[in-house]
A = this chain, B = another copy of it.
Amino acid sequence: MSKVKILNDPVYGFISIPYGIIFDLVEHPYFQRLRRIKQVSLTHYVYPGALHTRFHHALGAYHLTCQAIDVLRSKGTEISDAEAEAVGISILLHDIGHGPFSHTLEHTLINVTHEQLSVMIMEQLNQEFEGALSLAIEIFNNRYHKPFLHQLVSGQLDMDRMDYLNRDSFFTGVSEGVIGYDRIIKMLDVHDGELVIEEKGIYSIEKFLIARRLMYWQVYLHKTVLSAEEMLVRVLKRAKELTSNGKKLEVSKSLQFFLEQEITREDLKNRRDEILQQFSRLDDYDIVSALKAFDYQDDEILSYLSKSLINRKLFRLELKNTPFEEEYIEKIKKLVTESDKVPSGNLEYLVFTGSQTNRAYSTAKQEIKISFKNGEVKPMSESSDYTIQANMVRKYFLCYPKIKV
């Protein structure tokens, strides 16, 4: 009999999940909830295949982590079975704190980062599993004495990134994001307790950095995707505003809970179990069902935005390298106000600006390190004749209904 459960994955072929704590965590309702949270939010409005979930991503990242551990062990790095399992748990649960629509609604529904929520949920699970997650939490929090284990979970070359670039490329069909993940993993090594890449892998790293950059512009920050996501944020803001004004909206109990109150990190410490219970019932389905119900709502703004979003009548989004001039914004506002296709009043929900960055590889932060045959270890920026794009690019957007301008 197999000691592992095997899952088909169109990206890697098969993923093996060993029976034991890993399997039990996958079966847990908290982890199953990730089946209902899309990895890349509303990206499927542009790339219709991009419906993959945090569930699939977490399993994929776990799969790559197992491969990385095999490679490191084969090169002489000692990793005990307990450590291997702990790093596995750590990567499996790294996104467990994501709420509906992942990054899009982060800070909108609950003012805490998803990483902080991940830690809290891990701690709750640790109680349930009687301490079996302690080492995993230490690694996740980078408090363990072997930093490379944490770096596999979170760092310049972590298995999170490796999986999401792969997986997002695969499901969007954007070949520009394809990376040689298997080659990169085969080139991993440990030097002075830190993750390094063997010299021969240097071109794969260049390709990895450029693929990431291109995925930002072509997918993650695609104008149409941005427009849809910013509209979604406004819907939730409006719903919160109306709720705080005493209006009762047709939403699920858990969504109601988060619309009614502004949860802070402090609250989360004091009322952890109550809040997590509600949070763990929340997923993309609560939001989409709310959007569909809001359509019937008598608040014109809420109804207009929700209907537009559901039927994919998205706002126009202009994008540029400098902030928009006040004058231009005012001009647009005037046009929107005058349009009879758009509800009047509440212009802040109809014409809005903001900015986004591409989170490019930065030499400022902890750099990727290359190990050479002669024993030397040097940062990437001194190892490659390829000029690394050190600077993050910020782009500014202005978003408004598609009126004739």
Contacts of A389 in B (CB 8 A): 386-387
A56 within 8 A of B: yes
Contacts of A53 in B (CB 8 A): 48, 51
Known: A75-B2, A214-B203. A55 touches B48 (CB 8 A): yes
Copies of this chain held together in the complex: 4
Min Cβ gap A282→B in Å is 9
A349 within 8 A of B: no
Contacts of A207 in B (CB 8 A): 176, 210-211, 214
Q: Residue of B at shortest CB range from A218?
A: B203
CA distance A2 to B55 in the complex (A): 33
CA distance A391 to B4 in the complex (A): 36
A window 1-38: CB within 8 A of B: 1-4, 6-11, 13-14, 27, 29, 32, 35-36
Q: Residue of B at shortest CB range from A215?
A: B203
CA distance A390 to B136 in the complex (A): 46
A179 within 8 A of B: yes
Q: Residue of B at shortest CB range from A185?
A: B14
Contacts of A48 in B (CB 8 A): 7, 9, 35, 53, 55-56, 59
A115 within 8 A of B: no
A178 within 8 A of B: yes
A292 within 8 A of B: yes
A372 within 8 A of B: no
Contact between chains at B186 and A175 (CB < 8 Å): no
Interface size bucket, A side?
A: 35 or more
Contact between chains at B186 and A203 (CB < 8 Å): no
Contact between chains at A203 and B217 (CB < 8 Å): yes
A311 within 8 A of B: yes
Contact between chains at A203 and B176 (CB < 8 Å): yes
A272 within 8 A of B: no
Q: Residue of B at shortest CB range from A172?
A: B8
Q: Mark A157-185, 1 if CB is under 8 A from B, else 0.
A: 00000000000001111111011101100
From A10, A206, A296, A321, residue with most partner B Cβ within 10 Å: A10
Contact between chains at A180 and B175 (CB < 8 Å): yes
Contacts of A252 in B (CB 8 A): 289, 292-293
Contact between chains at B8 and A186 (CB < 8 Å): no
Q: Mark A110-128, 1 if CB is under 8 A from B, else 0.
A: 0000000000000000000
Contacts of A293 in B (CB 8 A): 252-253
Contact between chains at B387 and A9 (CB < 8 Å): no
Q: Residue of B at shortest CB range from A213?
A: B386
Contact between chains at B180 and A10 (CB < 8 Å): no
Min Cβ gap A187→B in Å is 9
Contact between chains at A292 and B285 (CB < 8 Å): yes
Kindly list the 9 A-B residue pairs having the minimum CB-CB distance in the complex, ordered from nearest: A10-B173, A8-B173, A289-B289, A51-B51, A29-B311, A176-B207, A175-B180, A285-B288, A48-B56
Q: Which residues of A contact B (CB under 8 A)?
A: 1-4, 6-11, 13-14, 27, 29, 32, 35-36, 44, 47-49, 51-53, 55-56, 59, 74-75, 170-176, 178-180, 182-183, 186, 198, 203-204, 206-207, 210-211, 213-214, 217-218, 252-253, 281, 285-286, 288-289, 292-293, 296, 310-312, 321, 385-387, 389, 393
Please give 7 more A-B residue pairs, beta carbons under 8 A apart, in addition to A10-B170, A285-B285.
Answer: A2-B74, A3-B74, A10-B173, A27-B312, A36-B288, A48-B53, A175-B179
